[in-house]
Amino acid sequence: MKSDVKLLILNPNTTTAITQRLLRAAQEVCSPGISICAQQVPSGSPAITTELDELKAQVAVLDYLDRHIDLYDGVIIGCFGDPGVQLAKERYSVPVVGIAESAYHMACLTGKRFSVLSTGTRRESRLTWDMLDRCGLRGKCQQVYPLGMDLTSISEESLPQIRQYAAQMLEEDECDSVVLACAALAGMGQPLTEAFGLPFFDGVQQAVMLLEGMLQPRYAAAIHGQAPTPLPPSI
């Protein structure tokens, strides 16, 4: 990996507090020498809770990346609906990952079944199931548990309430891991993992680690459509 790698975390909503939380969570796990920048789209919804919000976010994400993609070596879309991720993968030569796909695939590596802890209402959890369908992972998900919290009101001070809800959830759920299904929960994976002895996956941090792996020279060449450098002959 080159020494001056610059990654972008793009928040598809307009809530500055979430953008800042995304950056703090990412910086906790990024490797030395990697620069991470967090930005948010200039216009849109403060929270993405409906299909219409997701469609607007897709447009905003692509519009922002069209103007700024050349500044970065890799991009993380910081919303759990992964709005615009698939379109961006097709549109740009740099790797683009979403926090939902990152967390879900990492959860699949730790056990047979995972559950999802989301922030919204039971009605809004439909979007979570839709995302699982797009990832082809509905069959791996045991259950989706909505916190019923407004994501714009979540802060570090919300952790005790979330921990209490998670404890109630795990009394009836025998999942192997839990995915935190909202950008507003960024940074809470480690304290919840320590509290319950069960992996709680923060999609932001998983995305950083996966993106770093994708930027290793041999993989990066393939992502950019170039032939990888041959390995030296064995001696």
> CA dist 53 to 83, 128, 174, 183, Å?
9, 14, 33, 15
**CB count in 10 Å sphere of residue 180:** 27
pLDDT of residue 234: 54
Of 188, 201, 203, 192, which is closest to residue 170 (Cα–Cα)? 192
CA distance 209 to 3: 16
> CA dist 231 to 159, 212, 220, 226, Å?
48, 21, 15, 15
* Tokens standing for residue 170: 């795990």
pLDDT of residue 235: 47
What are the phi and psi torsion angles at 83 (to 5°)? -65, 130
Task: Note down pLDDT in tens along the chain; length 235 residues.
Answer: 566 899 999 999 999 999 999 999 999 999 998 999 999 999 989 999 888 999 999 999 999 999 999 999 999 999 999 999 999 999 999 999 999 999 999 999 999 999 999 987 777 788 889 899 999 999 999 999 999 888 888 988 999 999 999 999 999 898 999 999 999 999 999 999 999 999 999 999 999 999 999 998 656 555 555 544 555 555 4
CA distance 205 to 211: 10
pLDDT of residue 218: 56
Of 24, 7, 160, 34, which is closest to residue 97 (Cα–Cα)? 7
**Cβ 45 vs Cβ 13: under 8 Å:** yes
pLDDT of residue 94: 95
pLDDT of residue 51: 87
Domains of the chain are 6-98+205-223 (3.40.50.12500), 101-202 (3.40.50.12500)
Q: What is the pTM of this model?
A: 0.89
